[in-house]
Amino acid sequence: MRYGHHRAGASRESASRCRQDDRDRRRLLRRRRGHPLAVGKGAKRPSRARMRGQLLDEAARATLPSAVDVCVCGGGAAGLVAAISAAEAGASTAVLERDFSCGRSILATGGGRCNLTRLDLDARAYNDPAFIDAVCGPLFSTDVLGFFDACGLATSFESEGDTRIYPLSDRASSVREVLLGRARRAGVILACAREVGGIGGDSVLFRELFSDGEHSLRAKAIVLAGRDGFVPAGLDAVPFSPLLCPVACEGLPFDELDGRRVHARVTLLRDGKTVLDEYGEVLFRSYGLSGIVIFNLSRFARRGDTVELDLAPGLDDSSFAKLVSSAGNAAGIVDPVIVDVLGDEKHVSCTVSGLAQTEHAQVRRGGLVTGQFDPATLMVRDRPGLFAAGEVIDIDGPCGGYNLSWAWRSGQIAGTAAAAYAKAGA
């Protein structure tokens, strides 16, 4: 999940926190190993280029055998869990990851806090409820929490009465650390800076980014879990498109409203019919609308749809009018700057012109079509030994822990099943 946001419009903060968590992790590793690049307070920090070179050197030192039981393509959320599950089931396991280190995408989730899962996971919130039900079953969140409990991760609710679950440390880096630690204890080979380019028979073809060399790794079972859009030939797939991002709109003076926030009821209309109706914080941007509720709306919005905002959802129209009449304006109800721009309006509307800041979208829609998988194992039915997990499958859900929950649980299932397949073949 590439960029998650706990607060509306927090993409810059999320990216910054991601970078800080990654620096913290590298500093911890250097201190543990007595590395010469370890720095203390007040010391000059190594340059980004030097850090990049260090990570490439570490990636180059990861040696791969000629063959493994299970090869996991992708070292993000789903890939790490799949690799751990396979290795703990007794399979020799390697991860091929294009990035210079595994699990970096986790650092940006939940605005750098990682909304791990939620207690009230509902299959109906996903784009394919029947498939989610068949794969994850009734103990969806229980299975996810059980896995992380075994990792040694302490968790807590976002707040009293809230069902969203975060690491107790309130840092996504804690989630990444426990996953990497468990993977290493299980004997997983984490081979970073290796870009998967294809599958030939029982071999995964990849390129080393530190040498530009072409190589292959034989595997009895392969788990696809990458975010880079790699889809083997012959499989049915829906083109990838960004989701959970801001929405570009027309029809309001957005330049004058840029940066203002309001708690509103948001209704998405198409041909006069309600497509989505949610309450939450909306952030006005120069190009349109942002915020968690808008990210959820982006899953359904089409060009030409109407977005209606009720700027005072806690008041009925009559009560709103009385307060405005008493005060002479709506500045006692709505942000005075918004009132100055929009007037004493309770209801305003705009027209969707597209999605915005798609390069920072939390997830993507598309990927491998669900109908070609056995839901019990996540193996492709007509490609024995080929499994998939996470975002590479055409599954998406709203904000609030749904997409990470799918990554964790599908990784567990695919990894365990891949190990069983490899051992049976042996």
Q: What is the CATH number of the domain that holds 299?
A: 2.40.30
* Judgement on whether residues 83 and 131 belong to the same structural domain of the protein: yes
Q: How many CB atoms lie within 10 A of CB 303?
A: 10
pLDDT at 196 (0 to 100): 93
Q: Are 141 and 115 in contact (CB under 8 A)?
A: no
Please report the beta strands in 225-304, taking only residues with DSSP state E, as ranges in sequence order.
Answer: 237-243, 247-250, 261-270, 273-285, 288-290
> 244 or 158: which carries more pLDDT confidence?
244
- Predicted confidence band of residue 373 (pLDDT cuts 50, 70, 90): very high
Residue ending a domain, among 356, 372, 395, is 356
**Do 197 and 109 belong to one domain?**
yes
* pLDDT confidence bin for 47, thresholds 50/70/90: confident
Q: For the residues 46-53, what does the mean pLDDT come to?
A: 75
pLDDT confidence bin for 360, thresholds 50/70/90:
confident
User: Average pLDDT for residues 286-315, to the nearest whole number?
Assistant: 97
Q: Given the DSSP bridges, would you call strands 67-73 and 214-224 parallel, antiparallel or unpaired?
A: parallel
Q: Where do runs of H (alpha helix) occur along 138-194?
A: 140-151, 172-185
Residues 154 and 193 in one domain: yes
Q: Report the chain's mean pLDDT, rounded to a whole number.
A: 89
Indicate whether 257 belongs to any domain.
yes
pLDDT score, position 4: 33
Which DSSP category does 390 fall into? G
Choosing from 356, 371, 392, the residue where a domain stops is: 356
Nearest to 196 by CA among 304, 79, 61: 79
Residues 200 and 294 occupy one common structural domain? no
Buried-exposed string 148-170: b where 16+ CB fall within 10 A, e elsewhere = beebebebeebeeeeebbbbebe
CB burial readout 240-276, b (16+ within 10 A) else e: bebbbbbbbbeebebeebeebbbbbbbbbbeeeeebb
Residues in the chain: 426
Q: Specify if 16 maps to a domain.
A: yes
Judge contact between 414 and 77, C-beta under 8 A: no
The pLDDT value recorded for residue 37 is 44
Owner of token pair 């080393």: 208
Q: Could you tell me if residue 38 is inside a domain?
A: no
Do both 227 and 266 map to the same domain?
no
Is residue 247 within 8 Å of residue 214, measured between CB atoms?
Answer: no
Statement to judge: residues 66 and 140 lie in one domain: yes
> How far apart, in whole angstroms, are the C-alpha atoms of residue 353 and residue 298?
11
Same domain, 234 and 251: no
**Interacting residues of 327 by C-beta distance below 8 A, sequence separation 6+:** none
Instruction: Please tell me the distance from the alpha carbon of residue 260 to that of residue 289, in angstroms, as a whole number.
Output: 10
pLDDT of residue 9 exceeding 50, the answer is: no
∠ CA 228-117-360, rounded to 5° = 35
Listed residues 356, 387, 407: the one ending a domain: 356
Could you tell me if residue 186 is inside a domain? Answer: yes
Domain of residue 104, CATH code: 3.50.50.60
Residue 245 in contact with residue 255, Cβ under 8 Å?
no
Going by pLDDT thresholds of 50, 70 and 90, the confidence category of residue 110 is: confident
Provide the CB-side half-sphere exposure for 317 (13 A, CA): 2
Whether 327 and 385 share a structural domain: no
pLDDT at 229: 60
pLDDT of 8 higher than 80: no
pLDDT for 281 equals 96
- Amino acid 392: pLDDT: 95
Compute the average pLDDT of residues 81-98: 97
Question: What is the percent of the chain with per-residue pLDDT over 70, rounded to a whole number?
Answer: 88
pLDDT, position 227? 73
Question: What are the tens digits of pLDDT across the range 407-421?
Answer: 999 999 999 999 999
Q: What percent of the chain has pLDDT over 90?
A: 76
Q: Based on the fold, state whether residues 260 and 401 are members of the same structural domain.
A: no
Model confidence at 18: pLDDT above 80: no
Where would I find the H helices in 34-63? 48-61
Q: Are residues 114 and 234 in the same domain?
A: yes
What average pLDDT does range 41-53 have in this prediction? Answer: 68
The predicted-structure confidence for 375-384, as pLDDT tens digits, reads as follows: 999 999 999 9
For residue 185, CA distances in Å to 85, 151, 180, 181, 220 come to 12, 11, 9, 6, 22
Which has the higher per-residue pLDDT, 25 or 98? 98
Question: What's the DSSP call for residue 40?
Answer: -
Residue 43 domain-assigned?
A: no
Give the 3-state secondary structure of residue 1: coil
pLDDT digits (tens, 9 = 90+) for 123-132: 999 999 999 9
Of residues 290 and 108, the one with the higher pLDDT is 290
Determine the Cα–Cα distance for residues 261 and 273; give it in Å rounded to an integer: 26
Residue 321 lies in a domain: yes
How far is Cα 224 from Cα 304, in angstroms, rounded to an integer?
Answer: 36
Q: Are residues 88 and 215 in the same domain?
A: yes
Residue of higher predicted confidence among 393 and 32: 393
Burial annotation 34-61 (CB, 10 A radius, 16+ → b, else e): eeeebeeeeeeebeeeebeebbbebbee
Give how many domains the chain has, as a whole number: 2
Are residues 169 and 84 part of one domain? yes
Tokens matching residue 235: 């499989």
Give the lowest-confidence range in 155-169, 226-240, 288-302: 226-240
What domain range includes position 133?
11-31+56-240+362-425
Question: What pLDDT is stored for residue 201 in this prediction?
Answer: 85
In a domain, 298, yes or no: yes
Confidence of residue 108 (pLDDT cuts 50, 70, 90): confident
Identify whether 337 is part of a domain. yes
